[in-house]
Amino acid sequence: MSQAQKDKVIELRGFFVTYRGPSDTVFSYSFEVERGVQISTINAFLNEFKKFIAEEAREFDEEITRLLKEVMQLKKENWEGYKRQLISTIHHIGRGKNVKYVVVLTITTPNIYGYMIYAKNKLYSWIKNNTLVLQSYPQNIYILPENKIKQLMEKQKEANRMLFDANVWYREFYKKVVGQVNEMFKKYHIEYVLPPEPKNIHEIELYVTPIKFSAYEIEKYARLDPMFASTLKKTLETYIQQLTLQVIQKLERYVRKIEKKQRLNRKVAKQYLDNLRQTLVALGIEGLFTEALQELEEGISNPRKFLDKYVNSENWKVIMFERVKTVLDNL
């Protein structure tokens, strides 16, 4: 392979990224209602429990609100939504004589819950805005450009600092109410006791794996084991096909606007395409989309010429996929 040929080789490089963060279930405590305990008794308990937790949460949230200036930028209705999600209830399992009742208690405050969600979403949003999705089921796998890894680590630290604060507040609130809730169990003759210590809001864990794929690398392995090289080639093709779908979806938002003759903010559109181009360059696959990016930039400036060539977004998509397939066939 000549140097000129090597320079044209598509090289997929960067990091696979997955993550695991705290779940809402950290605030939930459940128990099965023993036979003989009337549902009316459980409902009476739940009503008293909900009223007590709501009053304690309101007072506790007032104390920590001054520490949540950053989150206070969120719309007020978000917090009302958090309140609606903090539900304690009874679940029915089975039917007839075999029915069982499981009570799920939620012990936290809207501010603590909201702060945990905010911390997670801040990191997750950054990941989604700076990566391409390689796989979405059963777990999202992202591919991150090499030049973004330091930023990712900083964002993770920032999110985990916030989750640490949320955990401190959560533990404080839990210990404030656990004694009285356990007294309620005794009052209603319910055989259940909350543990003295709450669950922990765990940090967000990132799983990062470096990758490097190229036709040139595959060619080297072909000399050692042709079957293994063939497997690598199929893997690279699959990854590129998945990423192509992502990129075309990102570009299509502007193609559809051109198709519908919507007014476009050229400055915003150019910035969007420039950011996408930089991501593709860092991942080593910009060569697959150079023509598409250039044409779309021109199309934003001259929509009529763009539509004369492609007619509509569906034709445009077909042509884009054909171009990438041609490159893959030549790997």
pLDDT at 69 over 90: no
The number of beta carbons lying within 10 Å of the beta carbon of residue 39 is 11
Within 10 angstroms of residue 83's Cβ, the number of other Cβ atoms is: 15
Pairing type for strands 100-106 and 28-32 reads antiparallel
Query: Which whole number is the average pLDDT over 237-255?
Result: 87
Of 253 and 18, the one with more pLDDT? 18
As a whole number of angstroms, the distance between CA 135 and CA 220 comes to 27
Give the pLDDT score at 71: 57
Is omega for the bond preceding 145 within 30 degrees of 0, making it cis? no
| pLDDT > 80? residue 80 | no
Structure confidence by residue, pLDDT tens digits, 197-212: 999 999 999 999 998 8
pLDDT at 4 over 60: no
Q: What does the domain layout of the chain look like in residue ranges?
A: 3-13+211-329, 22-203
Q: What is the pLDDT of residues 277-304, one digit of tens each?
A: 999 999 988 888 888 888 888 888 888 8
Q: What does the pLDDT read at residue 67?
A: 62
Where is average pLDDT lowest: 15-19, 92-96, 155-159, 256-260? 92-96
Average pLDDT over residues 62-84: 60
CA angle 108/48/107 to nearest 5° reads 10
Instruction: Indicate the pTM of the whole model.
Output: 0.81
